Structure 1
Amino acid sequence: MEYRTLGRSGVAVSELCLGTMTFGRATEEAEAIRMMHKFFDDGGNFLDTADTYVGGRSEEIVGQAIQGRRKDIVLASKVRMRTSPGVNGVGYSRKHVMDSIDESLKRLKTDYLDLYQLHVWDHLTPIEEVMRTLDDLITQGKVRYIGCSNFLSWQLMKALSVSEREKYAKFISLQPQYSLIHREMDREMMSLIREEGIGFLPWAPLGGGLLTDKYERNERPERGRLAAPKVGEYTWDNKATPDAFRILDEVVAIAEEIHKTPAQVALNWQLGKEEITAPIVGCRTMAQYEENIGAVGWRLSKEHQARLDEVSAIADEYPNRFIERFSRPLTPEEK
């Protein structure tokens, strides 16, 4: 396992982050703890959870697993989603955030979080209030670093600007959806995180399981993450597009050429991108964990990386294509 600094901080995290969203629901406690301990033994030190996962049960299981190892673990959680029925049981009000951090720390059996992340933008609470509250949590020692998740580029930049103006702590990381079949972050966010030195922690790096090549192409699945008829990102209609299967064909072809699994190829493509700090892998079983950990310790060739870059690239769109034209010397024909 290799290690990378998280954004412009000095903290080192493993090149894979173990996500815990299924712990306590699809993954029973004993299996989850065994998986986390195996991850630590394999050199992993980065765990991601949230106060809303399985109604807080995920945090409780993580808290059990890290006992006796806390100082060696970079522990991340998130806040925003509804955690109680009251009118203030959701969002980024100072009240809800202050209440939520204490509840998370109790479930995690720790005095502090290494990384506390805003789960998604809150249109109600002024960002000035949010950043002041997070800065106070750092001052109090309950949080070491702060980050955000599922933000638009203007939202991230506005938060960074408020922190700059008010001398508050700044976000050091962003956690967005990103995979070979979901590269929307390439439109604006990638250039922003490069400019600002923000760590990039992709969730759903395997496209909700589609990039494992376990689903039949023209048949809605009865099992797995994409089987549930629900609203959100993890839906068959959202993932199983013609473009996604065209990308998957290239992943499978490369996997056969180098004797790896499609999941390992899709993850290793992310490990080869300099903007990406640590993809967040969510494993329901130990078998899935063993396959995913097989993505480290090697690198795709430049040819294979380029093939995946090309087949998964998003459309050339305005204003990016216009800006790109003037970011390089113009040819005589263009002048």
Structure 2
Amino acid sequence: MAFFGVGASADSTSPSRAAAPLPPHPSSPIPVQGRPLGGGVRVPFGETGCSVFPLILGGAEFGWNVDLDSSHDILDTYTDLGGNVVHTADSYSAGRSEHIVGQWMHSRGVRDDIVLMVRIGGHPDNPGLGPVNLVRAVEAALTRLRTDRIDVLTLDATTDSATALEDTLATAEWLVESGKVRALGAAGYTAAQLVEARILASAGFPRITVLDVPFNVLRRHDFDADLRLVAGAQSMAVTPSHALEHGFLSGRHRTRQRTMLSARGAQLAANINRRGSRTLRALDAVGTELGVPDAAVAVAWLLAQRLVTAPIVNAYAPTQVEELVQGVGVRLGRSHLADIARASE
């Protein structure tokens, strides 16, 4: 298309008379070149073959406390800051979270740039990890997500204690071989089950390479010594969920009067005690010294723990994403870690 300057005639047919494009106006925005802020920050994602930003954006609030447009704003902010891993589940808002993530990836054209993690097993239409329900659940998730593959399929054992692990992995093998799943993760599995899974992997079943476990500065019992030992021995990528303990470690909820009369309010209230207050004061002190919010300190504490690859965080607004991402750039010293450990004992 030819562009014409002031005074040029649109009837001009001679190529020699075509005016050169006008230079940009001095007030025009300056184009940003190169990768986003954290685009160069990547770490190996266990044995999945992926390289990831060391902070995973969770979609637990999408379609529940956060509507579609706000969810897309949160996802845009995360990727603008360099993030490339999105975690959702078929149980989040009965699949609405997957719909929202799928619409976002499709509208932005970013599917190939995103490492997509999906937890399966909790949708009421296809509950558990039995062969038939597992295949149906994955197919339904792919439809909602508007994609042909899941990069990391997390098997949620908390939803099914009856199905034999061998049957679940045999079905997962078909999903991997068919190209619908790239790698496997686990949630709710015991150390003994993970050992069994590795034994089955030696017989040809797909390996579990990612471990999703509830873990934060206040909640350490779920990631016990046996689970740590197995995860380390199997070179698993550990992705702590509940990184902010239902939002408490953000420091925004310090009194019972401010908590809501809801399930989330009850979760927050459980930590509004002397131990919780001491921990928040320790995060306050470190955050003040380093110039970052409490949420960033909580993320940095997790990243300082051996075996942790990338915490899973949820956000209600883009500003919260900006706070959380700061934790990736924070390096806590030994004195910081010791102070936080003493406060949270």
TM band (smaller chain): 0.7 to 0.9
Aligned to 1:46: 85
Aligned to 2:102: 63
1:173-193 CA-to-partner distances (Å, cap 9, x unmatched) read 011111000011143222221
Equivalent of 1:116, from 153, 174, 187? Answer: 153
What is the 5 A alignment of 1:161-310?
A: 161-164=199-202, 166-184=203-221, 185-217=223-255, 219=257, 221-222=259-260, 226-227=264-265, 234=267, 236-237=269-270, 239-310=271-342
Change (3 A) 1:130 1:279: same
CA distance in 1, matches of 2:319, 2:261: 17
**8 Å contact 1:47–1:74 — kept in the other structure?**
yes
Structure 1 residue 13 corresponds to structure 2 residue 13: no
CA positional deviation for 1:6: 1.4
Equivalent of 2:192, from 131, 154, 160? Answer: 154
1:194-213 CA-to-partner distances (Å, cap 9, x unmatched) read 11101100111111111112
**8 Å contact 1:220–1:236 — kept in the other structure?**
no
Structure 1 residue 139 corresponds to structure 2 residue 139: no
Aligned to 1:98: 135
**8 Å contact 2:123–2:137 — kept in the other structure?**
no
Listed as ranges, the gaps of 5+ residues in structure 1 are 314-335
CA distance in 2, matches of 1:220, 1:18: 26
Listed as ranges, the gaps of 5+ residues in structure 2 are 1-37
TM-score normalised to the size of structure 2? 0.82
Equivalent of 1:72, from 109, 113, 118? Answer: 113
CA positional deviation for 1:50: 0.4
The percent identity for this pair of structures is 27
Change (3 A) 1:55 1:240: same
TM-score normalised to the size of structure 1? 0.85
Change (3 A) 1:149 1:113: same
